[in-house]
Amino acid sequence: MKNHNKTDWAGCPVRYAAGIFGDKWCFILLRDILLHGKRYYGEFLTSEEKISTNILANRLAHLEQTGMLTRHVDAQKKSKVFYLPTAKARALLPAFLNIMVWSTEHDAQTEAPDSFAKAMQQDPIKTVEYYQRQIDAADARCHSTSNS
Amino acid sequence: MKNHNKTDWAGCPVRYAAGIFGDKWCFILLRDILLHGKRYYGEFLTSEEKISTNILANRLAHLEQTGMLTRHVDAQKKSKVFYLPTAKARALLPAFLNIMVWSTEHDAQTEAPDSFAKAMQQDPIKTVEYYQRQIDAADARCHSTSNS
DNA sequence: CAATTCACTTGCAAAATGCAAGTTAAATCT
DNA sequence: AGATTTAACTTGCATTTTGCAAGTGAATTG
């Protein structure tokens, strides 16, 4: 999709979302961050889907530019870099969990347990809060000297 | 993203969803179908985002193959074709509305009224039902001789 | 029955992707 | 201290996808 700057893609809510994560790799990266606790560049590279390093760098920059992630240098080992989800990215969690409910109900090969969709149906607020705490826990494992 | 067939992208719920609508044009088409009442090939072509006809044909085929749409020939005018959302596509509505809530809250240029996010917060079930009836209404405007 | 509508298809240039091989800074090893 | 390794990118190039413009063919319309 050509010649669409950030402003072009603002306005319509669906188009705005598509401009930020309407791309398979951004979708996968947000999953890794919001649901798999990944934070480090090296961790994203090892995901099952085998993203290549130039594309990873490109998408991390995109997510940083759109206010979804912030980049940080590791305090213990300055050659390592991690990315933390912003409040904006964290706010996507409910939408993502709803997408996942849909997938578990329509993908015959789903790997998600029945308990997940059930939990979301019975008490969505509590379920969302559970996953939010997981995000906090993943963030807590990362320490930077100052911001970059 | 190369060499990923339908099976490769099954399993993980987020990856499954990305395989179906993790693409800006599919995202936009599903919006047009679920929220803008579009059904005819010609209607999709006229959307604000100006999809080109070869890409439109490609994405409609993709959505048909993944069980999101069914293709029909218009009963009144056999040169016209429309696409109806399946139950699977309709089941995406709650996730889409949640995405839209997120966008309205994070896009400074959002065109969505405050009332939308409020309605979703206060009574999500009723709000979803309202949009589901709109889908029914859009479907009702289409008539085919038999299926294609 | 000739012109037009409509849903695609085709051809080609431009852009994005994927893979492999750098590069650079920082940490570890000897 | 100097050499090796780790880690996060960057670069180059072949392949694939996209976008645009121009068909094509069946169905309608004039």
CATH topology of domain A13-147: Arc Repressor Mutant, subunit A (1.10.10)
Q: Verify if strand D has an atom below 7 Å from the CB of B77.
A: yes
Q: How far is B80 from chain A (nearest CA, A)?
A: 27
> By three-state DSSP, how is residue B17 classified?
helix
Which residue lies nearest C28, CA-to-C1' measured?
A77
Q: For residue A69, which of A110, A20, A22, A17 has the smallest C-alpha distance? A: A20
Please judge whether A31 and B14 are an interchain contact, meaning their C-beta atoms are less than 8 angstroms apart.
yes
The low-confidence residues of chain B, meaning pLDDT below 70, are: 1-8, 10, 146-148
Please judge whether B14 and A91 are an interchain contact, meaning their C-beta atoms are less than 8 angstroms apart.
no
Residue A6 has pLDDT above 70, yes or no: no
A139: exposed, middle or buried (Cβ count in 10 Å: 0-12, 13-18, 19+)? middle
pLDDT for the residue B134: 97
Q: Are A111 and B12 in contact (CB under 8 A)?
A: yes
Average pLDDT over residues A46-68: 97
Cα separation values, A139 from A64, A87, A94, Å:
16, 12, 18
Q: Verify if strand D has an atom below 7 Å from the CB of B21.
A: no
Note the pLDDT tens digit of each residue in A7-46: 567 689 999 999 999 999 999 999 999 999 999 999 999 9
Chain A interface includes B85 (CB < 8 A): no
Chain A interface includes B28 (CB < 8 A): yes
